[in-house]
Amino acid sequence: MKKDNGLYRLVYEYYEARILLGCYTCGDKLPSIPKISDIFHLAPTTIRSALSMLEQEELIKVDARKAAVVTYDLSPGQMKKNAAEYFIPRREGILGISQSGSYLLEPLWKEGLRKWDDNDWESLRRGIMDPSLNMVSIPVEFYLLAVGALDNRLAMNLLWETVRYLRFPYLTNGMETLTGRKELAGFSREETIEALRAEAAHSYGRSLQALFAFMDEMSLDPGLKYAAPIPFHWNIYRQRPQLRYSFASLLIREILKGTYLPSLPQLVDRYGIPLMTVRRTLGLLEELGMTRSYHGKGTLVCMEPADIDLSRSSIREGIRLYVESLQLLHLTVQNIFLCTWESADPAKRAALIRHFLFLQSEEKSYLCFEACLTFIEDHCPLSTVRECYGSIKVLMVWKYPLILSRLKNRSLHAEYRDCVSRLTSFLQEERPEMFSSELKHLWEQEEQQVRAFLS
């Protein structure tokens, strides 16, 4: 199972939740393995691992020739207890995701729908016209299919993690209340997307209202004991070795701050990381042109262009996550920055402007983009956005070795000086709409340049 990097647990938890919370009852059949593979964009072997785990927990019975059958017999009282014990500790996290969904997740699935081909759209229209076809009957699966069209594992990762945490959308009966099905048949794609968005928001809102009413009711039961609050955390699935990748990202950020790297023993002591992992990480940074090692003298920061070896799995993984972060940012940042700017007090806004001016005076304009992410991470009123943008900020540090390699001997500061000057002017003139639009454009442009550079 390790070869799947734990992704089989996504499928396992998906169906475990649906069974334990009463969406599937004893005797019901799960979808076929090919169908589940299509929904989750995972290999059949991964799906089989998940079903095997469900069978070990005595929740289903697997038959090689037929669809798996639910064997767990759940009483109404046990279902309520299972739900209460899961949801009540996650109350604040669920509220945070709900408040952030239109900023983070909605732009992703809408863009995914725009990438669907004619066959996908025809299937969707048939499902809208004839609910018995069950093509859009489960919103969660619909979102997985839509976001999957982006071909962005990081975006899918984010959707998976929020769905795993929320769980209660599994219990909805789908878009049963979709009004005007016949009228939708004549809608354009954008009109259909907007109708689906409105219906999803309505369905989700009703589910959320019912869930919070249920939690209020169960919180009064003195016989139930609950765990401490469990906040939402975005667990990003990476190829191995995760520790070396994370440590490399951390050291790149330290280098960008102007920090000189300490000796190997000091790195081991400071971060509690094995010596061999530290050596391999420094070797990776040297291949990226960020450092240079000298025998007997230690490691020096150099920030020089390097011919990046794209055959290295750790380098490929870092670049993949960086490119996918760029797409996620340009799809979501515009409204998120505006939300953050509007909620920030004048002192916080002024501090961001001063920081932009300072970086320009120090000829470090390229760090202004990280400053934007930090501003959002620190001051956005939406907890889930803060969590996700903080994680993206770590992934974005791979920008710098890639840009150094692409620019060769051209100055990093010179490359971004003019666009950062425009961004600063927009902030000084209190034109956040122009700032956020420019930021979206710059990150979209950067994504295109990196993809072209790598092709």
**96-113, pLDDT tens digit by residue?**
999 999 999 999 999 999
Specify the pLDDT at position 2. Answer: 34
Pick the CATH number of 89-219 from 1.20.120, 3.30.70, 2.40.30, 3.10.450: 1.20.120
Helix 242-256 to helix 313-343 angle (10° resolution) is: 60
Model confidence over 299-340: pLDDT tens digits? 767 777 677 877 777 778 888 889 999 999 999 999 999 999
| Whole-angstrom distance, CA of residue 240 vs CA of residue 245 | 8
Q: Which CATH architecture has domain 6-74?
A: Orthogonal Bundle (1.10)
Helix 313-343 to helix 275-287 angle (10° resolution) is: 80
Taking domain 243-300, whether its CATH number is 3.40.640.10 is answered by no
pLDDT classification of 10: cutoffs 50, 70, 90: confident
Q: How far is CA 291 from CA 281, 316, 317, 362, 401, in A?
A: 11, 19, 20, 21, 10
pLDDT classification of 174: cutoffs 50, 70, 90: very low
Whether residue 253 contacts residue 397, with contact meaning beta carbons closer than 8 Å, is answered with: yes
Model-level pTM?
Answer: 0.83
Q: Which of 317, 330, 324, 338 is nearest to 369 (CA)?
A: 330
Model confidence over 220-261: pLDDT tens digits? 888 888 889 999 999 886 655 566 777 888 888 777 776 667
Whether residue 204 contacts residue 197, with contact meaning beta carbons closer than 8 Å, is answered with: no
Specify the pLDDT at position 407. Answer: 76
Model confidence over 40-64: pLDDT tens digits? 778 899 999 999 999 999 999 998 8
Specify the pLDDT at position 129. Answer: 62
Specify the pLDDT at position 140. Answer: 67
Question: What six digits make up the tokens of 410?
Answer: 């051209």
Q: 22-31, 171-180, 261-270, 435-444 — which is least confidently predicted?
A: 171-180
Q: Looking at the predicted structure, is the pLDDT value of residue 395 above 90?
A: no
Q: Mention every residue, 6+ apart, whose C-beta is less than 8 A from residue 261.
A: 251, 254, 255, 267, 282, 291, 298, 299, 300, 301
Q: Looking at the predicted structure, is the pLDDT value of residue 175 above 60?
A: no
| Whole-angstrom distance, CA of residue 455 vs CA of residue 440 | 23
| Whole-angstrom distance, CA of residue 205 vs CA of residue 138 | 15
Specify the pLDDT at position 3. Answer: 38
* Residue that wins the pLDDT comparison between 398 and 408: 398
Whether residue 398 contacts residue 318, with contact meaning beta carbons closer than 8 Å, is answered with: yes
Specify the pLDDT at position 4. Answer: 45
Q: Which of 120, 107, 113, 119 is nearest to 190 (CA)?
A: 113
Q: Tell me if domain 243-300 and domain 318-454 are identical in fold.
A: no
Specify the pLDDT at position 341. Answer: 98
Q: Looking at the predicted structure, is the pLDDT value of residue 133 above 50?
A: no
Specify the pLDDT at position 345. Answer: 96
Residues in the chain, total: 455
Model confidence over 336-354: pLDDT tens digits? 999 999 999 999 999 999 9
> Where do the domains of the chain lie?
6-74, 89-219, 243-300, 318-454
Q: Looking at the predicted structure, is the pLDDT value of residue 277 above 90?
A: no
pLDDT classification of 429: cutoffs 50, 70, 90: very high
pLDDT classification of 130: cutoffs 50, 70, 90: low
* Residue that wins the pLDDT comparison between 415 and 140: 415
Specify the pLDDT at position 385. Answer: 97
Topology adopted by domain 318-454: Four Helix Bundle (Hemerythrin (Met), subunit A) (1.20.120)
pLDDT classification of 66: cutoffs 50, 70, 90: confident
Specify the pLDDT at position 354. Answer: 96
